[in-house]
Chain A
Amino acid sequence: MKEIVIHSPEELPDAVRILLHRAARARVMAFYGEIGAGKTAFIQALCRHLGVKEEVSSPTFSIVNEYEYISPGDSLAHPVYHMDLYRLKDIEEALQIGIEEYLYSGEYCFIEWPELVEALLPEDSARIKLEIIGDSSRKILIL
């Protein structure tokens, strides 16, 4: 387990770099943490780092937001799936929106409120826990 402490949102890009280094092979990343812990903000920083140009906003209502970035691996445009399972009631609803297609697409999948689909996550998924330790400081645990 790796622990990173950041003291302001400006330090998010550093945390993102450390995460991507530690979990280089993971394409599915599950983000745990209470409301206001900074899950959306962290994923925004991740998407910026990957080179997503468009606005990255919360998918609580839409459930899945899709963005695009150019992968350095093949120089092609790839999708990034930003999901928020907050308003789903059970795993059945997650299956009905076709969550497995996203999870096993081989593309980046960043998930907020992933508790419901724990059993469906691919084996090499990264799990990240965000904890509030002060007004603008957060502890980031890579589990």
Chain B
Amino acid sequence: MNTVILGIESSCDDTSAAIIRDGEVLSNCVANQEAHRLYGGVVPEVASRAHQKNIIPVVDLAIKKAGIDKRQVDAIAFTRGPGLIGSLIVGVSFAKAYALSLGIPLIEVNHMEAHVLAHFAEPPRPAFPFLCLTVSGGHTQIVLVRGHLDMEVIGQTLDDAAGEAFDKTGKLLGLDYPAGPIIDRLAQKGRPVFDFPEPQIPGLDFSFSGLKTAILYFLQKQKQDDPDFIRNYMADICASVQSRIVSILINKISLAAEETGIREIAIAGGVSANSELRSALEKTGAEKGWNTYIPKFEYCTDNAAMIAITGYYKYLKGTFTSQEVEPVARWKVGG
């Protein structure tokens, strides 16, 4: 069939472009040092101006790496939302202009649905229906996935996201942002000897705000007896906090599996790069007889391959978007 889709992602910090052919990823580029080595300049962070600088080099790089000509692209898929309007607008405008100039269709993609469909970038691919725990700096959701384009959020955070629980703990411990990977590394040298309470939230929803406050009080109290408590017990504190965050996530996804009877269980989003979460999911899955799916790191964080893949399934269904499309800051999964 040879259907080639160009995917564009610019919803938050990273500008990314990817090319897929018949669902197979040919290139998946994030504007980073590599793109800038080729085109000069520095890598700015949070900024729509940065997206403007990045988008042409990164699309060019994705096309070159895929070894195709831009005239072979059959459709262009882009993140329409949710995200920061100033950032989204760059990707949306670029996609519209590109589609218009090449005379190819446009396909709008929901960023959170795309995180789930990142599982279709490579085998093994989950079978329908499956549950996907999407965990990132900004989101914590359990999504019931009935088909490529048929999803429903059955649980979500009521306050902070799981990734934020890592980052705010890092702030309390004096670690750099983002703290998730640092805590993951430090935790490997410690033991989970401090017990933080598990929030009692009914159903499949999450809460991480109480945990943050519990950690704050715990540290304040310990520092009264030992002003160097954080330094002396850094690895154990990290291990304890991480172990609690992971257990909250695993307990909820287990409950969701029980309630729905579904045993195909996937994780997605930046926090699925956490080593303890990955091993805990595999271990729990082995005990409970689940098939578990953990994407490669490059498909966990924000990337355009997942946008292109989602675009591909929409292309097969003939779901296209008009040139009048505008970015949306808010957009529900399945909405």
Q: Which chain A residues have a beta carbon within 8 Å of chain B's beta carbons?
A: 34-36, 40-41, 44, 54-55, 57-68, 87-89, 93, 96-98, 135
Contacts and interface: CB of A to CB of B under 8 A. Distances in A.
Given A87-B177, A93-B45, 14 more contacts: A35-B168, A40-B159, A55-B156, A57-B156, A57-B159, A57-B160, A58-B160, A60-B168, A61-B12, A61-B139, A61-B161, A61-B164, A62-B84, A62-B138
Contact of A96 (B47, B137, B167, B177): B47
Contacts of A57: 156-161
B50 A96 contact: yes
A64 B329 contact: yes
A135 B220 CA distance: 12
B159 A44 contact: yes
A97 B86 contact: yes
Interface in B136-190: 136-139, 156-161, 163-164, 167-168, 171-172, 177
Contacts of A59: 138
A50 to B, nearest CB: 15
A87 B177 CA distance: 8
A57 B136 CA distance: 13
21 contacts: A35-B171, A35-B216, A36-B217, A40-B160, A55-B158, A57-B156, A57-B158, A58-B164, A61-B138, A61-B164, A62-B83, A63-B46, A64-B84, A64-B329, A87-B167, A93-B47, A96-B47, A96-B86, A97-B86, A97-B87, A98-B48
A58 to B, nearest CB: 5
Nearest to B329: A66
B181 to A, nearest CB: 15
Interface centre among B86, B136, B168 (most CB of A within 10 A): B86
Interface centre among A40, A57, A89 (most CB of B within 10 A): A57
A61 B137 contact: yes
Interface residues of B, number: 37
A62 B161 CA distance: 11
Contacts of B251: none
B257 interface: no
A61 B136 contact: yes
A124 B244 CA distance: 43
Contacts of A35: 168, 171-172, 212, 216
B223 to A, nearest CB: 14
A40 B164 CA distance: 13
A87 B180 CA distance: 14
The 3 closest A-B pairs by CB, nearest first: A61-B138, A61-B137, A96-B47
B86 A66 contact: no
A129 B49 CA distance: 33
A62 B81 CA distance: 11
A41 B159 CA distance: 8
Contact of B330 (A54, A63, A135): A54
A88 B167 CA distance: 14
A66 B205 CA distance: 21
Contacts of B172: 35
Contacts of A66: 85, 329-330
B158 A88 contact: no
Contacts of A65: 329-330
Interface string B99-143: 000000000000000000000000000000000000011110000
B161 A58 contact: yes
B279 interface: no
B85 A98 contact: yes
A96 B48 contact: yes
B72 interface: no
B38 to A, nearest CB: 24
Interface in B21-66: 45-50
B247 interface: no
B284 interface: no
Nearest to B138: A61
Contacts of B330: 54, 65-68
B86 A58 contact: no
Contacts of B138: 59-62
A21 B159 CA distance: 26
A89 B46 CA distance: 9
Contact of A60 (B46, B82, B137, B329): B137
